[in-house]
Structures are given as C-alpha cells and as structure tokens.
Amino acid sequence: MSSSRFTPRGFPRVPLQNGIGRYICQLKRVTLRFCKSSGSSRGIRDFIETDLISYAQEHPGTAVYLKPRRHKSPSFVAEYLNGEREVISCHNFTAQEMIKWLNLYTTRSGIPLMRYAKMWHTDCPSIQGVWSPFTNKDPALNITQFPSKELSKPVWEEKSATEELLEMINKQKISDENDDDTQKVQAAQM
C-alpha cells in the first residue's frame, strides 16, 4: 500500500501546535469545479443544491467558491493554511460521496500524505531523558562485591539429560500422590 519508493516517510506532525491552544480548521479555501450540463457532474450539482449551504455554515472558516466550466470533468481544489493545494477529481461522484470526500479534506492538516515511521513523536520533552550507559541500571549493582559468584554464572544454562530425567520423575511422583489423595477423598465420601 504505502511503498517507501514513492511515499515520503516521516513522523506525525501538526502545523502550528494546532489543538494545544485552540483548534483551527486547516482548510482555508475550497473551489468546486463542475459542468452545468454533463452527466459526470450530476453528483456535485446535487451536492451544491442540497448540502453546500449547510457545509458552508458548518465551516465558516473555509471560503467556498463555485466555478462552473463547460464540458469539463468535475473536481474540487482544497487549499490549506500551510500553502499546500490538492486537486481531487469528482468524476461520476454521487452527492453522498461528495460529502464524504469534502469532509475528509476539511479535517486534514494539509501536510502531504506520508508513511508513518511511528505513530507517535516527541521532540521535547524526551520521555526517559538522554540515554547513557547508566540509564535503567539496577541500583543493586552499586553495593555488589566483585567478583560476584551470582553474576559470574552463565546467563542461561542448558539442563543435562540426568536433570531432566530427575525432574520428570519428580513430576510423576507428585501426580501419583495427587491421584492417591483423590482416591482417598472418594473413599471417604463413599
């Protein structure tokens, strides 16, 4: 879907710390371009007739322009506060689709689409601070006497065959005892 060859890679960003203070809709201007007669503009014409007024009322911070063009395929141009401009083709859209696409581009930040390297990002404050070899080190090491017997052992030792056998026998013993217990309990109940 998102290949690094074509899609730029980056972290989620927000223009102008939007939302820390107050949220401002980043879509500053939208131009609906359509034809008054052709069939492919049918949906966008329906949208203009029925829903455009309510859209403009809901988003007073967005300037809406209508641009009828004879025998041209319909499209809309979204212009953002950061200077980006996107053209979206609305060929053969229905009015419903028009609402959905316009809503998508109204709620976007205007930063070009990118593949997110991570879904979060902080420049500052850093969550754990600057890393050093002593970060997250066990404080018990401060009072350990070296050379220490415990720390000299290998981190992971493989069990020998004898040990495994002994373990199996022990397990069996325990299960036998358990069986005996259950039998005793049953006998008592009888």
- Residues 6 or more apart whose CB falls under 8 angstroms from that of 155 comprise none
Q: Which conformational region is residue 150 in: left (phi greater than 0), alpha (psi within -120 to 50 degrees), or beta?
A: alpha
Nearest distance from residue 157's CB to another protein, in Å? 27
H or E stretch covering 46:
helix 42-50
- Taking the least distance from each CB to another protein, the nearer of 121 and 159 is 121
Q: How would you classify the pairing of strands 9-10 and 115-116?
A: parallel
- Selected from 39, 123, 150, 155, the binder of another protein by CB under 8 A is 123
Between vectors from CA 138 to CA 132 and to CA 143, what angle results, nearest 5°?
A: 115
28 binds another protein (CB under 8 A): yes
- Binding to another protein by CB under 8 A, coded x per residue (else -) over 46-65, reads --------------xxxx-x
Q: Which of residues 133-152 bind another protein (CB under 8 A)?
A: 133-134
Cis amide prior to 15 (ω within 30 degrees): no
Stretches 47-55, 97-105, 122-130, 157-165: which one binds another protein (CB under 8 A)? 122-130
With binding defined as CB under 8 A, does residue 186 bind another protein?
Answer: no
Residue ranges in contact with another protein by CB under 8 A: 15-17, 20-22, 24-25, 28-29, 31, 60-63, 65, 67, 81-82, 122-127, 129-130, 132-134
